[in-house]
């Protein structure tokens, strides 16, 4: 696999010829809808094992191998037609292996809403361990809202992907509620009702396990949240279900803020089978323009997390979206969400180059709309995806979790599957 960054004058056909590939394969692998138009800075994932090299004066197999980061033995294996390594000719074409490295096997979770496009779902499932269906909303009396999750559960299981039930403290028609969480976490009777309803749903719907995503919990309810997790984990364990929890991206135990304080990393790490770190939303809808998941900030979260949570229990959050901000940014104004594929298509349509920020390891570009207003778009491409996926190996994590898989991003799955094997539990 090669990540190629488009340069001025590049065409799909010239790139394909340079790397000895079919143009159609590059187009299909990358999901290009307008392959005749590329923009400078756009990434292409080239799924090839070898690169053709035309022998120049002074070349030897050893010098070619060294220049390309492979061994002489690998060069020989890729060129069985060469009987003597000392006899190569100027103008001769040699296959140079592309250095590849698999980092191991990981768990991959993907969040999806019940209305996900079935074609998107079917193309994504081969890359998942778990499908977390979002979400059952808890009610103050311990009952649950209903969702149409049965079709997704059946599709997931047929694809050998474990379906996960998700419960949230989202009020119907509203957002995450600290008052709702307080009601649940401080009332033992309501908790028991909720746990019974969860278990009944797990059994009736044929789920594999439970994901609890309680956010904006009052700081004073944090210990009650820990006790609730232990209580429900004991019940789930007895029945053979697993428990995962979703945690805000903290960089220290005493981080201030309603999003963070009740999320006690050590306790979640002790109780849950997996914890999902929501390592995204530095760039967010109502915030100033910046990368959604800058690698320097993600690394700070992981630096803390692996000190207090067994690293193999951690699934690092991976965003599958970006944002489009109108400039100049004014506090309180909303950015528009954009998919990675949509971002590139927008750059192509506007004819602007994509730039890359090395600190955050994320691509971005500027353009002017039809009214003359200036915009900046931050998103993910093959480079930023690869950079963050390397953190999984660097920190010895258990895997990753995508929010969300509602949009299909071909390059993401090409990169992921080139770097890791995906564990299947069914």
Cis peptide before 135 (omega within 30 of 0): yes
Place of tokens 């990675």: 340
Q: Which residues pair with 367 in a beta bridge?
A: 375
CA distance 216 to 142: 18
| Beta-carbon contacts of residue 173 (< 8 Å; ≥ 6 apart) | none
H helix or E strand, kind and range, residue 343 = helix 340-350
Q: Which residues pair with 324 in a beta bridge?
A: 336, 377
Cis peptide before 330 (omega within 30 of 0): no
Structure tokens at 227: 């006790």
CA-based nearest residue to 424, from 104, 107, 103: 107
Alpha helix ranges (H) inside 55-149 = 61-67, 72-78, 118-124
Decide the pairing of beta strands 362-368 and 274-277. unpaired
Q: Which residues are catalytic?
A: 215
Q: Is the dihedral of CA 155, 158, 159, 163 positive or negative?
A: positive
Neighbouring C-beta atoms of residue 377, cutoff 10 Å: 25
| Beta-carbon contacts of residue 6 (< 8 Å; ≥ 6 apart) | 15, 38, 39, 40, 41, 42, 43, 44
CA distance 244 to 213: 9
Question: Max Cα separation, the chain?
Answer: 82
CA distance 388 to 303: 14
Structure tokens at 226: 């820990």
């Amino acid at each position: 696999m090669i990540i190629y960054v488009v340069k001025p004058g590049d065409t799909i056909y010239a790139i394909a010829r340079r790397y000895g590939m079919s143009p159609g394969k590059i187009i299909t692998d990358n999901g290009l809808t307008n392959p005749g138009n590329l923009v400078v800075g756009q990434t292409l994932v080239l799924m090839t094992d070898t690169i053709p090299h035309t022998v120049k004066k002074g070349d030897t197999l050893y010098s070619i191998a060294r220049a390309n980061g492979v061994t002489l033995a690998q060069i020989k294996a890729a060129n069985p037609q060469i009987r003597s390594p000392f006899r190569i000719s100027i103008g001769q074409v040699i296959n140079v292996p592309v250095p590849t490295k698999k980092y191991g096997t990981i768990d991959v979770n993907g969040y999806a809403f019940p209305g996900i496009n079935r074609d998107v779902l079917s193309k994504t499932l081969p890359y998942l361990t778990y499908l977390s269906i979002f979400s059952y909303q808890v009610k103050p009396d311990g009952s649950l809202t209903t969702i149409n999750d049965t079709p997704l559960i059946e599709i997931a299981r047929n694809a050998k992907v474990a379906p996960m039930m998700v419960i949230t403290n989202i009020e119907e028609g509203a957002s995450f509620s600290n008052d709702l969480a307080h009601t649940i976490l401080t009332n033992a009777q309501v908790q028991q009702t909720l746990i019974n309803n969860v278990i009944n749903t797990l059994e009736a719907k044929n789920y594999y396990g439970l994901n609890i995503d309680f956010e904006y919990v009052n700081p004073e309810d944090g210990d009650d949240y820990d006790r609730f997790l232990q209580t429900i984990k004991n019940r789930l364990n007895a029945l053979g279900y697993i428990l995962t929890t979703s945690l805000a991206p903290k960089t220290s135990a005493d981080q201030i803020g309603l999003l963070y304080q009740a999320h006690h990393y050590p306790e979640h790490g002790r109780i849950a089978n997996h914890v999902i770190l929501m390592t995204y939303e530095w760039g967010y809808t109502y915030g100033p323009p910046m990368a959604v998941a800058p690698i320097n900030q993600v690394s700070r979260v992981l630096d803390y997390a692996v000190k207090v949570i067994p690293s193999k229990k951690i699934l690092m959050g991976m965003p599958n979206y970006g944002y489009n901000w109108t400039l100049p940014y004014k506090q309180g104004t909303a950015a528009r969400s954009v998919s990675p594929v949509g971002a590139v298509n927008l750059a192509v349509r506007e004819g602007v180059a994509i730039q890359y920020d090395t600190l955050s390891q994320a691509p971005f570009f500027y353009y002017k709309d039809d009214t003359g207003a200036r915009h900046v778009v931050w998103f993910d491409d093959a480079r930023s995806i690869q950079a963050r996926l390397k953190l999984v190996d660097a920190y010895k994590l258990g895997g990753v979790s995508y929010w969300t898989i509602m949009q299909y991003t071909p390059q993401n799955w090409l990169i992921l599957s080139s770097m890791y094997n995906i564990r299947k539990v069914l």
